[in-house]
Structure 1
Amino acid sequence: MIKLLLFVACGYVLYRLFMGDKKKKEMTQKKNVEKMVATGQMVKDPVCGTYVPQDSDIRVRDGEKIHNFCSYECRDTFLKQLEASRPKENQKNIEE
């Protein structure tokens, strides 16, 4: 009976040790993301709202504004929305 109690106690201590560390890492990571958003190092994806680094590789330039995306799917969705919002005459002039 004592061996069982010791085994359960050791298991609980190990569980708390590893899970507590995981929670601390998540909290630290969340604070870092909030800090980067506040300083302007991360920007919001215009399609899904995910925060991505300002120097991400997936970008689209719309006039003077540069939009950053979390994935190619979000970029493609944005481009479709952008094309649909522009008048057809303007699109013809761009193609020529």
Structure 2
Amino acid sequence: MLKWLLLIAAGYFLYRLVTNEARKKSKDDKKQKEEMVATGEMVRDPICGAYIDANAGVTVRDGDKTYRFCSYECRDNFLKQLESGGREIPAREEKDAE
């Protein structure tokens, strides 16, 4: 009987140890993400609202403003919204290599 009680107590202790570490990691990740957003290292996708790295991802330029997207699907939805609103993003001119 004592063996079972010790085994159950050890199992419960291990369970709590693992869940506390997972919970702590989740809080640390959330805090790190908030710090990255506050320092400008991350930007928000204007379509789905996901936060992405400011130096990566899919981009679209509209004049001086650059929009960043998490996926090509969000980018395409954004372009459709611009076109339906009567605005078009000018096509980037490709220069011939000489």
Fold equivalence (TM over 0.5): yes
Mapped contact 2:58–2:71 kept (Cα < 8 A): yes
Aligned equivalents of 1:32, 1:18: Cα separation in 2: 21
User: In the TM superposition, what are the counterparts of 1:61-80 in structure 2 within 5 Å?
Assistant: 61-80=61-80
Shift of 1:57: 2.5
SS in 1 for 2:67: strand
Is 1:2 aligned to residue 7 of structure 2? no
Mapped contact 2:43–2:51 kept (Cα < 8 A): yes
| Unaligned 5+ runs, structure 2 | 92-98
What's the RMSD between the two structures over aligned residues? 1.8
Query: So what's the TM-score if we normalise by structure 2?
Result: 0.82
| Unaligned 5+ runs, structure 1 | none
Shift of 1:65: 0.8
Query: So what's the TM-score if we normalise by structure 1?
Result: 0.83
SS in 2 for 1:25: helix
Number of matched residues? 91
Q: In structure 1, what is the equivalent of residue 21 of structure 2?
A: 21
User: In the TM superposition, what are the counterparts of 1:44-55 in structure 2 within 5 Å?
Assistant: 44-55=44-55
Structure 1 or 2: more helix by fraction: 1
Shift of 1:29: 0.8
Change (3 A) 1:49 1:36: same
- % of aligned pairs identical? 52
Q: Would you identify which runs of 4 or more consecutive aligned residues in structure 1 move more than 3 Å?
A: none
List per-residue Cα deviations over 1:22-49 (Å, max 9, x = no partner).
Answer: 1111111111111111111111110011
* Amino acid in the other structure paired with 2:75: R
Mapped contact 2:57–2:70 kept (Cα < 8 A): no
Change (3 A) 1:14 1:24: same
